A and B are shown apart, each in its own frame.
Chain A
Amino acid sequence: MSDEQLVGIVLVSHSAEVAASVAELAKGLAGGGPAVPVAPAGGTEGGGLGTSAELIAAAAASVDRGAGVAVLTDLGSAVLTVKALLAEGDELPERTRLVDAPFVEGAVAAVVTASTGADLAAVEAAATEAYSYRKV
Chain B
Amino acid sequence: MLDADFFRRWMTATAASVDREAERLTALDSPIGDADHGSNLQRGFTAVAAALDKEAPGTPGGVLILAGRQLISTVGGASGPLYGTLLRRTGKALGDAGEVSAEQLAEALRAGVDAVMTLGGAAPGDATMIDALVPAVDALGDSFTAARTAAEEGAVATTPLQARKGRASYVGERSIGHQDPGATSAALLIAALAEAAGE
Contact = CB atoms under 8 A, between A and B. Distances in A.
B177 interface: no
B73 A83 contact: no
Interface in A100-129: none
B77 A77 contact: yes
Interface residues of A, number: 17
Contact of B76 (A44, A83, A88): A44
Interface stretch (B11-19, B79-87, B156-164): B79-87
Contacts, number: 50
A28 B78 CA distance: 31
Q: Which of A54, A77, A80 has the most CB of B within 10 A?
A: A80
Contacts of A76: 77-78, 166-167
B97 interface: no
Contact of A83 (B34, B40, B69, B81): B81
A20 interface: no
Main SS of the interface on chain B?
Answer: helix
A84 B77 contact: no
B120 interface: yes
Contacts of B166: 76
Nearest to B77: A77
A83 B118 CA distance: 10
Main SS of the interface on chain A?
Answer: helix
Contacts of A53: 72-73, 80
10 nearest A-B residue pairs (beta carbon): A50-B76, A84-B81, A77-B78, A80-B81, A53-B73, A44-B76, A81-B81, A77-B77, A76-B78, A80-B78
24 contacts: A44-B76, A48-B76, A49-B34, A50-B40, A51-B76, A51-B80, A52-B76, A53-B72, A53-B73, A77-B78, A77-B79, A77-B81, A80-B81, A80-B120, A83-B81, A83-B119, A84-B72, A84-B81, A84-B85, A87-B85, A87-B115, A88-B69, A88-B72, A88-B88
